[in-house]
Amino acid sequence: MALLSFLGAIQQVTGSCYLIESRDGARVLLDCGMRQGRREEEEGNRAPFAFDPKTLDAVVISHAHLDHTGLLPKLVAKGYRGPIFATEATCDLMELMLLDAANIQEKDAEWESKWRARLGKPPVNPLYTVADTENTLKRLHPLPYGQAHEVAKGVSVTYHDAGHILGSAIVELAVQDHHITRHLVFSGDLGNTCSPLMKDPATLTRADVVLLESTYGDRDHRCSADTLDELAEILQAAHRDGGNVLIPAFAVGRTQDLIYYLGRFYQEGRLPQQAVFLDSPMAIRANAIYSRYHGSFDPADRAELQAHGVKRVEDWLPILRTTPTPEESMAINRIKRGAIIIAGSGMCTGGRIVQHFKHNLWREECHIVFPGFQAKGTLGRAIVEGASTVRVLHQRIAVKAKVHTLGGFSAHAGQSQLLDWVKHFDHHPELYLVHGELEKMQALQAALRERLDWIANIPEPGEQIAL
């Protein structure tokens, strides 16, 4: 019989990884994500895979975020030689994100090795290299939405739009098991139906087993209009206070949403700031990819952009300034008021936002806006939870800036949206909750039981089930 192994993003949000093995011997890996957050979780990225990469026939990717793709270069470095399937836009974004991740791995290893050398300790190796990543990118096979494609003997995949980020997909796998076809549907990261630019997630009705993400399984997001009003009020308050606004944002997805909303404020005369800085080389390049695929945007949002003669998202916001070089980034820190600074990383675990924290976090007149989920163990989570001081670039810095969390900007579905999506399946297939902290999963599990009379399972790490 066909088997499914739960290898990652089990009772935690990141590290997406599932292994499908058919009775005919096909072995397909669904996602190969990096663990993010606490140091002990990130150290798990160096652990050996729970399978031999050389024995895999195919890898199927749901979307480009690193918690779904970030260990692909390690997989190839350890001997995987098969194809990697993803949507066309995901392939383009993966090239951007994985090369950036590889550069960070190499630089971090170099920095750590210098410190270790002073202590008489041996150097460390990067998790993977740029060369490993370039070899990985050669294995990408883009697939369209809505068309079944055989990825291994007796295993076919069909992608459906997940509405999360550009190219994101709900993955439908059909697995042949001795003349019987079993259907596994993985939600991937389901989009928030209130998010701009992306279409609503596709609904499916047929499955034998469903893997449902549960990042926000315990709550709904605020409605988009209320969230936008709150953001507008924060921007006005920052203008009155005479400080800057810092927004840590993921380069792919969140940044494009923010530019769209700030552009709308600008068009409506509701943006008091003098300049918006996009201080993320990866986000700048991601914008270009989004512009290339503008035909796949939600029709209503695309029509609004076209009505203003806009094809590129960044042209919607004329005061947007991009700062690709380190020198341009450092120059922003001379600006003490009137700026909105969007920079990575989204959870403040590194990147240019950390430098801007050093110059602004201790200033009472500044405002920090967190537009999305902050994982346990991250600098962003510490600030959101009210830490009075935090360690930034080896310095202890007071948190005196005003801190705001805007859950309505999440690119993930909230609890009611998850329930609404999954209820379309006929006959209540076996349901497993993944991609969530345990308490979020338990809340969604209770809601499924109470509102849909559906018993959902919470798998254990490494658990294996028959499909």
CATH architecture of 3-219+411-466: 4-Layer Sandwich (3.60)
**Dihedrals phi, psi of 7, to nearest 5 degrees:** -110, -20
- The reported pLDDT for the residue numbered 111 is 84
Q: In which element (H, E) is residue 389 found?
A: strand 389-392
- pTM strictly above 0.75: yes
Q: Pick one of 3.40.50.720, 3.90.700.10, 3.40.50.10890, 3.40.50.300 as the CATH number of 224-409.
A: 3.40.50.10890
Q: Which two tokens stand for residue 411?
A: 């690119």
Using CA atoms, how far apart are residues 458 and 467, in angstroms rounded to an integer? Answer: 16
The β-bridge partners of 404 are 369
Domain boundaries, the chain: 3-219+411-466, 224-409
275-279 and 389-392 beta bridge pairing: unpaired
Amino acid of residue 35: R
Positive or negative: CA dihedral 456, 460, 462, 464: negative
Residue-level pLDDT, tens digit, the chain, 467 residues: 899 999 999 999 999 999 999 988 999 999 999 998 766 677 789 999 999 999 999 999 999 999 999 999 999 999 999 999 999 999 999 999 999 999 988 988 888 888 888 888 898 899 999 999 999 999 999 999 999 999 999 999 999 999 999 999 999 999 998 788 999 999 999 999 888 899 999 999 999 999 999 999 999 988 788 889 999 999 999 999 999 999 998 889 889 999 999 999 999 999 999 899 999 999 999 999 999 998 899 998 888 888 887 777 778 899 999 999 999 999 999 999 999 999 988 888 888 999 999 999 999 999 999 987 787 788 989 999 999 999 988 889 999 999 999 877 888 999 999 999 999 999 999 999 999 999 999 999 999 999 999 999 999 999 999 98
Written as six digits, the tokens of 307 are 């009505």
**How would you label 21-37 residue by residue, b for 16+ Cβ within 10 Å and e otherwise?**
bbeeebbbbbbbbbbbb
Cβ atoms of 248 and 381 closer than 8 Å: no
Give residue 40's pLDDT.
66
Q: Provide the token pair at 139.
A: 């294995």
